[in-house]
Amino acid sequence: GAVVSQHPSRVICKSGTSVKIECRSLDFQATTMFWYRQFPKQSLMLMATSNEGSKATYEQGVEKDKFLINHASLTLSTLTVTSAHPEDSSFYICSAVGGVGNIQYFGAGTRLSVL
């Protein structure tokens, strides 16, 4: 199956700092990647759609200036949480579309804790 790598797996940072999360498709090219956020015991929430070579499309209520997305190549998308605050602490998960059937495959997720 298609493999999606996400790094780092866990980040602990101070309030006000920025954190970058990388999502790579390892064995396929992904023109589209998605970024999700999930709070404990809640469902997946789509934050944005990342398209290679163009601006990301953000879901309603997601601040594009706070969550910067760059999809510079067909195998890499990055999410930068700028000026992180404790309320940004969450589980961030990326997925990439590819493989047979153009299916969404997920990275392992990044657990962000902002102190």
CA atoms of 71 and 49, how far apart (whole Å): 10
Residues 46, 62, 68, 74: which binds other proteins (CB under 8 A)? 46
Residues 32, 70, 80, 82: which binds other proteins (CB under 8 A)? 32
Q: Mask 2-21, x = binds other proteins (CB under 8 A)? A: ----x---------------
**62 contacts: CB under 8 Å, gap ≥ 6:** 47, 48
Q: In the window 91-110, what residues touch other proteins (CB under 8 A)?
A: 91, 93, 97, 101-109
Tell me which residue of 50, 88, 45 sits closest to 66, measured CA to CA. Answer: 88
| Strand order from edge to edge, sheet including 76-81 | 4-7, 19-25, 76-81, 67-73
Return residues touching other proteins (CB under 8 A): 1, 6, 32, 34, 43-44, 46, 49, 51, 91, 93, 97, 101-109
